[in-house]
Amino acid sequence: MVTGQLDTLHGITWAIAKAKAYWELLKFRLSMLVAFSSAFGFTLASPSLNWTTLTMLFIGAFLLSGSSIAINQVIEKDLDKLMTRTMNRPLPTGRLTVQEALFFSAICFVLSILILITFTNPLTVSLSILSMVLYSFVYTPLKRVGPIAVFVGAIPGALPPLLGWVAATGVISHEALIIFSIQFIWQFPHFWAIAWLADEDYKKAGFKLLPFGGRKDFNTAIQIMMYTLFLLPLGLLPAKFGITGIDSAIVVTVCGVLFLAQTFSLMKTGSRASALRIMFGSFLYLPIVQIAYLLDKL
């Protein structure tokens, strides 16, 4: 009797541990950001919301992101063991096997594509597959080649709002390209701030993401500042082309100026604290801007 209870308890503990490992594998917060950005693009493009399509797009984008991230971790499992920030992930710690991760990724991918085929359109599905291929099989290996990886990675990173727009309209219009461009340019200060903070860890794995030879210097800080500066005029384009109104333009401009101001400290001091503020600033900038656009449109 006691042995049976212990076996049951062990089975429950094992199942909980596996579920937790799969949860970590899909990086919930990152996948939620991808899903939210897709829903943002869909809502911004829709004259009247179809809540069923919006919900299924959100789920499909979330699953596709989880699938892509799982593939990324399979490819980098040996490199993740070398870095402090990633050594406790499910694959390096052996909590999941490569086979389990690949099976999980395949299930997420198939479910995502089935959902998107059913509730959106062929162009959305095609762009979704392109996004996964670029992220998992182009960006991931390029991280050890050079900073070109940041440019390539910024493409799938910026596709979610465009996917949402295309899911609502069926076409890649200039409006879709505008919201793509904002998220595309945002990727650079975001990526480089993280790379600045994780530089020592990244070097252990051979990652080369910082510009100008991978140095944490004034030239790199200038690049971060310049790309952040580009967000100011880009952020005004939705109002210029009638996608949103003046209220969101004011909010976006204020956010852009505050974000830009953080880069001057990095140029002046080159400190870790300054890079950390830019990273957190990037985390705040994108959702605040997208919510401002949505509220102005609604």
Of 172, 198, 227, the last residue of a domain is 172
Of 137, 152, 172, the last residue of a domain is 172
pLDDT in tens, 210-264: 987 778 999 999 999 999 999 999 999 999 999 999 999 999 999 999 999 999 9
The reply to whether 6 falls in a domain is no
Q: What is the pLDDT of residue 7?
A: 60
- Give the domain CATH number at 163: 1.10.357.140
Amino acid at 270: G
Mean predicted confidence (pLDDT) in 93-107: 96
Residues 18 and 160 in one domain: yes
Say whether pLDDT at 1 is over 60: no
Mean predicted confidence (pLDDT) in 144-170: 95
**CA R_g for the chain:** 20
Q: What is the pLDDT of residue 188?
A: 96
Residues 118 and 247 in one domain: no
d(CA 44, CA 166): 11
Which tokens belong to 139? 């960006």
Residues 123 and 40 in one domain: yes
Asked whether 292 and 248 are in contact (CB, 8 A), the reply is yes
Q: What is the pLDDT of residue 215?
A: 86
Which residues constitute the domain of residue 109?
A: 12-172
Residues 159 and 184 in one domain: no
Write the DSSP string, 27-92.
THHHHHHHHHHHHHHHHHH-SS--HHHHHHHHHHHHHHHHHHHHHHHHHTHHHHTT-TTTTTSTTT
Residues 20 and 163 in one domain: yes
Tally of structural domains, the chain: 2
Residues 184 and 294 in one domain: yes
Asked whether 208 and 152 are in contact (CB, 8 A), the reply is no
The reply to whether 132 falls in a domain is yes
The reply to whether 157 falls in a domain is yes
Share of the chain above pLDDT 70, in %: 96
Mean predicted confidence (pLDDT) in 78-93: 94
Of 156, 172, 188, the last residue of a domain is 172
Say whether pLDDT at 10 is over 80: no
